[in-house]
Amino acid sequence: MTNSPQTDGVVAARLDDATLAAHFDDLYPDLDAHEARVAADRCYFCHDAPCITACPTDIDIPLFIRQIQAGQPDAAARTILSQNILGSMCARVCPTETLCEGSCVRNDAEGNPVEIGRLQRYATDGLLAANEHPFTRAPATGKSVAVVGAGPAGLSAAHRLAMLGHAVTMYDTRPKPGGLNEYGIAAYKAANGIAQAEVDWLLQIGGIAVETGKALGGDLTLDGLKGQFDAVFLGVGLQGVNALRVPGEDLPSVRDAVDFIEELRQTEDKSTLAIGRHVVVIGGGMTAVDAAVQSRLLGAEHVSIVYRRDRGAMSASDYELDHAATEGVTILTNAMPVEVSAAGVTFAYTRSGAAGLEKTGETFTLPADQVFKAIGQTLKGQPEALALEGGKIAIDAQGRTSVAGVWAGGDCATGGEDLTVTAVAQGRDAALDIHAALGA
């Protein structure tokens, strides 16, 4: 079978096995006990710590750092996990440079914050490695809760509900739980199976049954769940992908970046993954960065991220964009796609005009044998009877939806920032409200 012109340059095993293994190992090495103590010594232990305010899960950061300083990493882990049960993955994927570390007073003193993320990883990884679960279940309440979606929000809600004594059944469409952490994060950020190890550890709380291969709107309906359970929490994420709406979008060279990242995460032998010589990623968020960087790590020679507005409007952090640049990714802004063809992708330059974003009339073409779309995700389908806001499930501050007895959180719901840590906070807080509503 002859490949189409768009896919002729897409081949597997561009790099040898040793190089691929090095490229997809942990981006940063673990701290050892001495390094952790040295890093902890830099904390000022502020009484009004701005790092706590900047953390969506309200972790007492000075306390856990002091516990590490005192040689008590397990106590530090408990401090972290009492607020953020997915503390190990969050230590890897949180944009700490704009959250806790971005608020560290050390930035004003010397421009070099305390390494809060690496210290959190040191503490939580130690507890996971020891296979110790520091929490126990309360006596059974006799109440049952359905959690739809086994991503960060669903896992956080399920764990807190189980810890409070409720019986939880967690449903997910995919073969295994984990959601974004398992399927949607760059492999080098979650190396060595850490995402699934954290899920397995979390489930040690007991009282959580997991059923995979089931989706809301398919096997599951809200009415059915409400009839079977005392409460329902939805953490279904965003599974739809926005379209480019340009000629050539349906060519075989074009695919969704989220599908590419999922395939890469679930493939043990990276040498079997085909990648183009010239790769173009369209978008400006973390998905775009993860797809672009991993394309380079697989051996693509020329990789470009192209975004329709200026760099300041990109949702990916400066840290992540700078990392992409160090990996050899070219970042082009103020350009929007107008056509995909055998020659590559044609873009029109853009500018801000009186009516919003407008084309300047100039165009350019980037050669591409592979194109990844990373222009945002959407809620898939219309959830039954639920009010939507901005294309997401509308919730109040407690996570309650417009339907009595149904809560929601994470990327599918309003009020978040499409961050793992925000999803964890919303799942936890909704669980506490469900507990109060059930009167258990």
CATH number for 63: 1.10.1060.10
Burial string for 254-269 (b: 16+ CB within 10 Å, else e) reads bbbbbebbeebbeeee
- 244 Cβ contact partners less than 8 Å away, ≥ 6 residues apart: 254, 282, 337, 340, 373, 375
The reported pLDDT for the residue numbered 8 is 62
The reported pLDDT for the residue numbered 184 is 94
Number of domains the chain is built from: 3
363 and 274 belong to one structural domain: yes
Q: Does residue 181 belong to any structural domain of this protein?
A: yes
Range of the domain at 341: 11-24+242-376
pLDDT digits (tens, 9 = 90+) for 121-151: 999 999 999 988 999 999 999 999 999 999 9
211 and 153 belong to one structural domain: yes
Q: How many CA atoms does the CB half-sphere of 272 hold within 13 Å?
A: 7
Query: Of 50, 70, 66, whose CA–CA distance to 58 is shortest?
Result: 50
Q: Residue 4 gets which letter from DSSP?
A: P
**Exposed, middle or buried: residue 157 (CB in 10 Å: 0-12, 13-18, 19+)?**
buried
Span between the terminal Cα atoms of the chain, in Å? 63
- Phi (first) and psi of residue 420, to 5 degrees: -55, -45
CATH number for 314: 3.50.50.60
Residue by residue, pLDDT tens for the chain (440 residues) are 334 444 468 999 999 999 999 999 998 889 999 999 999 999 999 989 999 999 999 999 999 999 999 999 999 999 999 999 999 999 999 999 999 999 999 998 888 999 999 999 999 999 999 988 999 999 999 999 999 999 999 999 999 999 999 999 999 999 999 999 999 999 999 999 999 999 999 999 999 999 999 999 888 999 999 999 999 999 999 988 899 999 999 999 999 999 999 999 999 999 999 999 999 999 999 999 999 999 999 999 999 999 999 999 999 999 999 999 999 999 999 999 999 999 899 999 999 988 889 999 999 999 999 999 999 988 877 677 899 999 899 999 999 999 999 999 999 999 877 899 999 999 999 999 999 999 96
58 and 117 belong to one structural domain: yes
Question: Long-range contacts for 269-273 (Cβ within 8 Å, ≥24 apart)?
Answer: 270/20, 270/21, 270/24, 270/187, 270/298, 271/12, 271/13, 271/15, 271/16, 271/17, 271/20, 272/12, 272/13, 273/12, 273/298
Alpha carbon of 50 to those of 75, 107, 121, 424, 435: distances in Å?
22, 12, 20, 20, 30
Write down how long the chain is: 440
51 and 103 belong to one structural domain: yes
What SS3 state is found at 358? strand
Q: Does residue 110 belong to any structural domain of this protein?
A: yes
CA angle 363, 364, 366 (to 5 degrees): 150
Which amino acid type is present at position 430? A
Q: Does residue 137 belong to any structural domain of this protein?
A: no
DSSP for 106-158 reads HHHHHS----HHHHHHHHHHHHHHTT-----PPPP-S-EEEEE--SHHHHHHH
247 and 234 belong to one structural domain: no
Distance, in Å, from the CA atom of 126 to the CA atom of 143, rounded to the nearest integer, reads: 34
Q: Does residue 6 belong to any structural domain of this protein?
A: no
390 and 340 belong to one structural domain: no
Among candidate residues 335, 351, 376, the one where a domain is terminated? 376
Q: Does residue 426 belong to any structural domain of this protein?
A: yes
On whether the CB atoms of residues 415 and 395 are closer than 8 A, the answer is yes
CA angle 97, 100, 106 (to 5 degrees): 80
108 and 45 belong to one structural domain: yes
- Phi (first) and psi of residue 292, to 5 degrees: -70, -50
What is the 3-state composition of the chain as percent helix, strand, coil, each rounded to the nearest 5? 35, 20, 45
The distance of Cα 65 from the centroid of its chain, to the nearest Å, equals 25
Residue 313 has a CB neighbour count (10 Å cut-off) of 13
What SS3 state is found at 435? helix
Among candidate residues 348, 376, 404, the one where a domain is terminated? 376
Distance, in Å, from the CA atom of 164 to the CA atom of 440, rounded to the nearest integer, reads: 9
Look at the pTM and tell me if it is higher than 0.85.
Answer: yes
